[in-house]
Amino acid sequence: MTSPSPLERLAGPGNVLAKEPPDAKEFAGLVRSALARLKDAENEANSLDSRFDLAYLRLDSRRPKHFAQPP
């Protein structure tokens, strides 16, 4: 018998994450949003601070919102 993965240990009754079925529409929206932010982050007309924020938001947008946030 194999041990559960770290992700599997986080999911389940009374744990941080709840298992959910894949959602193609949600995934497509996350990809669309991330690509738009990446394109904006590459725009040299934006300040470096704005470009950094956009790039960071691009990465953050890839994480589904139903994942628990750290306290």
pTM exceeds 0.85 for this model: no
Task: Say if CB 54 and CB 46 are below 8 A apart.
Answer: yes
pLDDT over threshold 60, residue 69: no
Task: Say if CB 12 and CB 40 are below 8 A apart.
Answer: no
More confident residue, 70 or 8: 8
- For residue 5, the surrounding DSSP H or E stretch is none
Q: Tell me, what's the pLDDT at 25?
A: 92
Query: What are the pLDDT digits (tens) for 27-65?
Result: 898 888 888 888 888 888 988 888 888 777 766 655 655
Q: Tell me, what's the pLDDT at 71?
A: 43
User: CA distances (Å), 59 to each of 14, 21, 37, 41, 56, in order?
Assistant: 28, 22, 9, 11, 5
